[in-house]
Amino acid sequence: MINVVIGKSATDDKGKSVATLVGQYFYLALLELFYFVFSLYRFGGYIYHRLMIRWLTITYHQNRTPELIQRDVANFTKIPRGIGAVLTLHDSGDEGGGVDGLLEQASDLAAWCIGTSIEFLVLYERTGVLKALPEPDVRRRISRKLEQYYGADNVPTFKISFPYTAASYSDNSTLVHDDASGPSVSSTEPSVNLTIRILSVEDGRQSIVDLTRSLATLAKEKKISARDINVKTIDHEIKTLVSDEPDLVYVFGPVLDLDGFPPWQIRLSEIFYMRDNDEVSYAVFLKGLEKYSGVKINVGR
């Protein structure tokens, strides 16, 4: 009798083990099926997005004249006063990569901004490679690009400025001192078509911390009143030292990643990106302006 009970118990345990193993394989197969279906969905979405971007690029790739650019935006109800662009430094071995690729992207954006009457352009590259380049090299590269669009005898004027300095450089190599906040043009300098501000990650959150610490030190030393330290003061100083707020920020990457873009400058900015896009193109630029034109902006108190 004891042997029968023991045999039955062993059989039950074996049956439970088999059932457990079958259950594990079932759920594993179900998980693999889920991954497979999701991969198909993601791949289909990627193909759709790439085809849409490709179609837009083919449609607008020849629009390299001011007349065609102005025609493209003629029906837009509004154009941003200033835009920002999050650029990424790719490997020099990749197509459009390296420092040369960054300069090409910056030059194209400058030409498109002038063609659409945008007043200032904020170029952000996280590592600071673009900001560290000699200013004359950046200026010459942009000037050559503008010549392609406007002709050698009709090159628009622009200036390049850097954070934490009162100096900026116009396209005729003249050193200009800015007294107004942000990238606005001083009344004593000739009018320019575009102001370009170049930023990196060090001009972001750390700049707010440094400014707050400096103001606190000045207040402690009785050089300014503590009552003078408020949001309005900080806003004015950051706009003066770093950059004004762009109305529209482009993220030229496959995912929405601001990559450390100065947060104070985008509190009220619209942000645009196209999923699975990995290049700076006129089609994406124009699509962003189209979306911005149709956006109703509500600013709360």
Residue-by-residue pLDDT tens, the chain, 301 positions: 445 445 555 566 666 677 777 778 888 888 888 888 888 877 777 776 677 777 777 776 656 788 889 999 999 999 999 999 999 998 887 877 889 999 999 999 999 999 999 999 999 999 999 999 999 999 999 999 999 999 888 899 999 988 866 455 555 544 444 444 444 444 345 588 999 999 998 887 777 777 778 888 887 887 887 777 777 877 787 777 778 889 999 999 888 889 889 888 888 899 999 888 888 989 899 999 999 998 877 655 4
Could you write out the three-class secondary structure of the chain?
CHHHHHHHHHHHHHHHHHHHHHHHHHHHHHHHHHHHHHHHHHHHHHHHHHHHHHHHHHHHCCCCCHHHHHHHCCCCCCCCCEEEEEECCCCCCCCCCHHHHHHHHHHHHHHHHHHCCCCEEEEEECCCHHHHCCHHHHHHHHHHHHHHHHCCCCCCCEEEECCCCCEEEECCCCEEECCCCCCCCCCCCCCCCEEEEEECHHHCHHHHHHHHHHHHHHHHCCCCCHHHCCHHHHHHHHHHHCCCCCCEEEECCCCCCCCCCCHHHHCCCEEECCCCCCCCCHHHHHHHHHHHHCCCCCCCC
User: Where are the domains positioned within the chain?
Assistant: 61-204+242-293
**Model confidence pTM above 0.85:** no
Thinking of the domain 61-204+242-293, which architecture would CATH place it in?
Answer: 3-Layer(aba) Sandwich (3.40)
